[in-house]
Amino acid sequence: MAGEPLISIIDDDQAMRSALVRLIRSLGYVARGFASAEEFIEAGVMPGCSCVVTDVQMSGMSGIHLTRLIAGRQSQVPVILITALTDPGLEDVALASGAVAFFRKPIDTTAFIDCLEMVMRA
């Protein structure tokens, strides 16, 4: 696994996190799940990440805050934001934070896979 692209999944919903990790691994990628943005940061894997998939609303740091943090570090790691929230304008805020894509739960799996494949080829 060393040297292979890593996709980090950050979601405080254990079932969603596990499902996304399984989906991404089924596509042949290395995936690792984290229960919070803080756990992800503390793990020190950010420099080796090829993509981050994170929930918007989590206890502690939000996915949007994490996206801004990653962008603020001049990191080129693409971030895909996901959420169950239906707030108007949330997608605009998410994309303005630096995310490359935004999906609402339940996620359209085909569209998500297409997006992920595009991000990983870039």
| Residue 40, in any domain of the structure | yes
Let me know if 74 is exposed, middle or buried by CB neighbors in 10 A (0-12, 13-18, 19+). exposed
Strand-pair category, 79-83 with 49-55: parallel
For the chain, the domain total comes to 1
Q: What is the pLDDT along the chain (122 residues), one digit of tens a residue?
A: 456 889 999 999 999 999 999 999 999 999 999 999 999 999 999 999 999 999 999 999 999 999 999 999 888 999 999 999 999 999 999 999 999 999 999 999 999 999 999 999 98
| Residue 68, in any domain of the structure | yes
pTM of the full predicted structure? 0.95
Distance CA 48, CA 108 (A): 27
Q: What are phi and psi of 61, to 5 degrees?
A: -70, 135
Distance CA 75, CA 8 (A): 15
Domain around 101: 6-121
